[in-house]
Amino acid sequence: MPILGRRLAAITAALAMSVTTGALVSPASAHSGSSDDNTKKMPTATGYGGAVSTVDVDASAAAIEVLRKGGNAVDAAVAAAATLGVTEPYSAGIGGGGYFVYYDAKSKKVHTIDGRETAPAAMPTDAFIKPGTAEAFAFKKQATSGISVGVPGTAATWERALKRWGSLSLADVLDPAIDVATDGFVVDETFRQQTLENKDRFLPFEATRELFLPGADNDAPAVGSTFKNKDLAQTYRLLAKEGMDAFYEDELADEIAKTVRNAPSSLDPMVPVPGPAGVMTTEDLDDYKVLDQKPTHVDYRGYDVYGMAPSSSGGTTVGEALNILETFGLPALKDDKAKVLHHYLEASALAFADRAKYLGDPAFVDVPVKQLLDPVFGKERACEIDPLHAAEKPVPAGDVADYNGACDVEPAALSDEKDSENINTTNLTVSDKWGNVVEYTLTIEQTGGSGIVVPGRGFILNNELTDFSPVYSETDPNRIQPGKRPRSSMSPTIVLKDDEPFLALGSPGGSTIITTVLQTLINRIDLGMSIEKALAAPRASQRNTANVTAEQAFIDAEYGQELASKYGHKFAAAGDPGTSAAEIGAATAIEFLNDNKVRAVAEPVRRGGGSAMVVKPSH
Ligand code: GLU
């Protein structure tokens, strides 16, 4: 079956336009379509032979096409990611980085690749500070700048994943994405909206303006129009032909470094954008390396939970929170949802206190991964939870140098988490007929990244370096250092039961990624919800701040009211009401059922709904 989806809709739209004197009648929709499964966004798909879940119908269709061709989960994951670079260019692409987690069915082992961006060798420690002050620029100015661009890791991640575990060539897996970039996709409301929200950030950069604001008066592409990215198709073709050295060496590398260094810039705090110019060189690109990393691991009530080790804080923070929660036997409290969620919120706050104190790039700072994931440490941290009342936030970090699991330890110094991470990124989950599984989160950080398109190349550069703490402090594990990876929250997670995959999941959402993954695990494992309900349920995120950030539906639910009135949790509605930011995360998951049957699950509503597909559907 050929790949369809938004691309098919684009072709249909083009035909409609050619016979209707240019006027767009009945614009083809990305979200509705023919009876073919691959043209529709379906949040759940059950069946055999491999599966995928992403936020986008074209990306999911690309993965299915590759699986049907005989490719494995790794091939299909790269195909989906490359397609997301076309259809979700503001969330992810080769201008960014990410974390790739892989379960190998043959060896029954989980492996990971750290494809996080790095700071250039000449990165100044005061990169985001207003000249002559000790204060950081406004976040938007930091983010819209050459100085925020980290050396991208995504191209190297694809190459490494394919080399270690893939079965098809880079050219084969880039093929569907090249088609989508060439034929175009139909612009939907989300794409137009994201473009408009970024208009002032995109305008200073000529190549960005030309690509994403092509209309009269620099209007964003209209809903229903076809968006083609021929430059990106050409870039993918180059990589398909030459391999990823073409990204990190030679002409393209030269252009990336020049674009970063010569990007329009301003040090005047009164000019809202752009911010400072970058310092990246071709040597920085040439020196970039992805890292093969051991995953983090905790045993949560008989489930083996594998996650991403530092430089992401995802694996340790989710893992520590689970160790804390293990102490409480949540399933016994299952009928008292508010009580279970109270423990979830409190455990999360404690794990975030430790994240703020201890987490950074382990190549530069000592990260006590073993201690943070030690069940004895978790047990001692659990002592801090009052089963009846929410603690005052921020709660202090624990002391990894001195613990014994007993409930009489003085906490270490207070540590708060100021959160400047943004809420966009993308996540995908893929499995194949051999039982291999990929969980992959990738990002260019902020929606629209740095706003800087590499001229003629069709992709946006990240602003990942804003994930460093902007103000330098010697005691901060996430302080800016040249060559370092900024701390991430990305939490691609694979859960095994008796050495077999049980569940794979992940989400975008800055530091709420951690709580989205944690809450979904609690919903599924402890509250016994089905995976589709666990994922769709209203979300709340306690990251050691005075207020719990929560979706309105969580605040309004009976348990939400009880958490406020009985336990004393204070809620703040996520984002601005009425905007998509009022949502937390956009998760994807696959659950592994009996007899090789799988259920792929995407968001039914958040971000306009995601797309789950299987190779052979069944009921
Ligand atoms: N930059 C974030 C991180 O690495 C991800 C951005 C997001 O999800 O919005 O944790």
Give the per-residue pLDDT at 16: 39
Q: How confident is the model at residue 37 (pLDDT cuts 50, 70, 90)?
A: low
What pLDDT does 15 receive? 41
pLDDT at 25 over 60: no
Q: Which of 87-101, 450-464, 562-576 has the lowest mean pLDDT?
A: 562-576
Percent of the chain with pLDDT over 90: 87
pLDDT in the model for residue 42: 95
pLDDT band for position 14 (50/70/90)?
very low
pLDDT band, very low/low/confident/very high, at 81 (cuts 50, 70, 90): very high
pLDDT over 90 (residue 195): yes
Question: Is the pLDDT assigned to residue 20 strictly greater than 90?
Answer: no
pLDDT at 577: 55
Cα distances (angstroms) measured from residue 82 to each of 136, 449, 597: 34, 17, 27
Nearest to 440 by CA among 499, 507, 357, 377: 507
Let me know the angle formed at the C-alpha of 363 by 358 and 366, rounded to the nearest 5 degrees: 35
Mean pLDDT (the chain) is 91
For residues 222-256, one letter each, b for 16 or more C-beta atoms within 10 angstroms of the residue's C-beta and e for the rest, the string is ebbbbbbbebbbbbbbbbbeeebebbbeeebbeeb
434 C-alpha to ligand 1 centroid (Å): 31
- What is the model's pLDDT at position 164? 98
Sheet containing strand 571-573, strands side by side:
540-541, 548-550, 571-573
Mutation pick for ligand 1 pocket among 488, 516, 580, 583 (CB with most ligand atoms within 8 Å): 488
pLDDT exceeds cutoff 50 at 237: yes
Write down the catalytic residue from 425, 447, 516, 549. 425
Mean pLDDT check: name the lowest of 30-44, 85-99, 314-328, 479-493: 30-44
From 618, 612, 615, select the one nearest 67 (Cα to Cα): 615
Q: Whose CA is nearest to atom 1 of ligand 1?
A: 445
pLDDT tier at 579 (50, 70, 90 boundaries)?
Answer: low
Task: Assess whether pLDDT exceeds 90 at residue 613.
Answer: yes
Residues with CB under 6 A from ligand 1: 421-425, 443, 445, 464, 467, 488-490, 508-510, 513
Rounded to the nearest angstrom, the distance between the alpha carbon of 488 and the centre of ligand 1 is 6
**Range with lowest mean pLDDT among 3-7, 41-45, 459-463:** 3-7
pLDDT in tens, 397-425: 999 999 999 886 454 454 544 554 455 78
Size of the chain, expressed as the number of residues it contains = 619
pLDDT at 19: 28
pLDDT at 215: 84
CB 84, CB 56: distance < 8 Å: yes
Q: Which of 129-143, 199-213, 365-379, 576-590 has the lowest mean pLDDT?
A: 576-590
Identify whether 425 is a catalytic site residue. Answer: yes
Please, which pLDDT band fits residue 22 given cuts at 50, 70 and 90? very low
Q: Which string of b and e fits 362-390 if b means at least 16 CB within 10 Å?
A: bebbebbbebbbbbebbbbbbbbbeeeeb
| pLDDT level of residue 24 (50, 70, 90 thresholds) | very low
